[in-house]
Structure 1
Amino acid sequence: MADDITPQDSPLSRAFSDGNHTVAIDIYADGEGAWLLEIVDENNNTTVWEDAFDTDEEALQEALDALKEEGVGAFIGPVEASGSWEAP
Structure 2
Amino acid sequence: MTKKPKLEHSELSGEYTEDDVTVLVDIYRPAGTQNDWKLEVVTQNEDLFEWDEPFATDREAFDEFLATIARDGIHSFLEEDDIPTTH
C-alpha displacement at 1:4, in angstroms? 4.4
What TM-score comes out, normalization by structure 1 length? Answer: 0.77
Question: Residue 36 of structure 1 is aligned with which of 32, 35, 38?
Answer: 38
Number of the residue aligned with 2:7: 7
TM-score of the two chains, using structure 2 as the length reference: 0.78
Whose Rg is larger? 2
CA distance, structure 2, for counterparts of residue 17 and residue 24 of structure 1: 9
| 1:2-81 equivalence runs, <5 A | 3-30=3-30, 33-77=35-79
**Distance of 2:47 and 2:34 partners within structure 1:** 26
Separation in structure 2 between the aligned mates of residue 20 and residue 29 of structure 1, nearest angstrom: 29
- Secondary structure at 1:33 match in 2: coil
Q: Aligned residues, how many? A: 78
Q: Is the 8 A contact 1:21 1:72 kept in 2?
A: yes
Identity rate, percent: 29
Runs of 4+ with >2 A deviation = 2-5
- Which consecutive residues of structure 1, in runs of 5 or more, have no partner in the other structure? 80-88
CA distance, structure 2, for counterparts of residue 55 and residue 14 of structure 1: 16
Q: CA RMSD in A?
A: 2.0
Point out which structure has higher relative CO (alpha carbons under 8 A, 6+ apart).
1
Structure 1 position 20, deviation (Å): 2.0
Q: Distance in 1 between matches of 2:70 and 2:16?
A: 10
